[in-house]
Amino acid sequence: MAETKRPTSPAAEEILGLYFPVLDHGFVSLVDYLGTDECIERAARVSYGYGTRKQSLTRGLLRYLRRHKHTTPSEMVELKFHCCMPMFIARQWIRHRTANVNEYSGRYSLMPMLFYTPDAAQLQTQSRRNNQGRSGQPVADDVHAEALRRWESIRRESTETYAWLTANEVARELARIDLPLSTYTQWYWKIDLHNLLHFLTLRVDAHAQWEIQEFGRVMAGMLQRVAPMSYEAWIDYDVRGTHLSRGELQAIRDLVKVDADGLAATGSRLDRAALEKHGLARREIDELFAKLAPAPPLPDFSLDVANARSAEHFADRFAHAVPATDGAPAD
């Protein structure tokens, strides 16, 4: 095979085509990528070609671009993933409408009867403060056991019905209509770096659903290998950075004055009464306190290649989960 003249990343090449398990039956694979950190720099410095530059200069430029939201150069880098996830996660994922997507079709192919089952730690009660999230408190043991029993019953009946319908030559596009959202689907998903960073910022956040966070973590680890300096800037400015509103900034300005010698404390106090005078609502005040709280440890999205599997590993698993043509599930 001829040596490529395109910029490549050795760390990305190491994992290209490897499949990293996510949840109980899902996966993410980096299928291909176009461009590296250096390509972003060349796009920003249009007159700059393939000459040698110091890495510190590249890093400084990429951080400047990220800090000042000059996003167009990062659109020149693209990553292509092969992903497999439960359908309810796919429905969240597809809301990011800035990618090219080709999904497994239940009209053309038989659906594998694989279903996502939350483990005991993730089967939690509803949050009282967040209508779209869980509380962090696992359900009682008896509730967990009964939930598993009911899910198994529903999935067994769904599997039997789907197998019976397809075995009796009912169109696949109709046989699939009552499969539960826990059923796994998969797709190829190609996106440019700018929009990938937006996706990851939302989906690795602690407020995102835990299951999609798990996919985001693996994809962030893949990004780290493709464009490590862009990844670093994303961590610093988006994942562990923050944005301040006009009211928040004014409250902090009242607390800290800037003069020719630097910063000077004013002796003021950022209590709720003072913040309310700046027009901040109760939730805004809570969020400002959270922004100024001691920083948590930096996240580590590094991938362990030892955890990766081959494409054949997952292909075989899915093939065995497709219903047999005699109306019974395959062995």
Residues with catalytic roles: 203
Tell me how far apart the alpha carbons of residues 61 and 45 are, in angstroms, rounded to a whole number: 10
Closest among 87, 45, 81 to 62, alpha carbons compared: 45
Tell me how far apart the alpha carbons of residues 331 and 320 are, in angstroms, rounded to a whole number: 6
From the CB of residue 276, how many other CB atoms can be counted at a distance below 10 Å? 14
Tell me how far apart the alpha carbons of residues 300 and 224 are, in angstroms, rounded to a whole number: 10
Q: Which residues contact 309 (CB under 8 A, 6 or more apart)?
A: 18, 19, 20, 21, 27
What's the N-to-C CA distance of the chain in angstroms? 40
| Three-state SS at 137 | strand
What does the chain come to in residues? 331
Tell me how far apart the alpha carbons of residues 275 and 260 are, in angstroms, rounded to a whole number: 27
Give the burial string for 67-81 (b: 16+ CB within 10 Å, else e). eeeeeebbbbbbbbb
Tell me how far apart the alpha carbons of residues 117 and 123 are, in angstroms, rounded to a whole number: 9
Q: How many CA atoms lie within 13 A of 207 on its CB side?
A: 8
Tell me how far apart the alpha carbons of residues 222 and 80 are, in angstroms, rounded to a whole number: 11
Distance set, CA 180 to CA 61, 117, 176, 208, 325 (Å): 48, 12, 9, 22, 21
| Three-state SS at 126 | strand
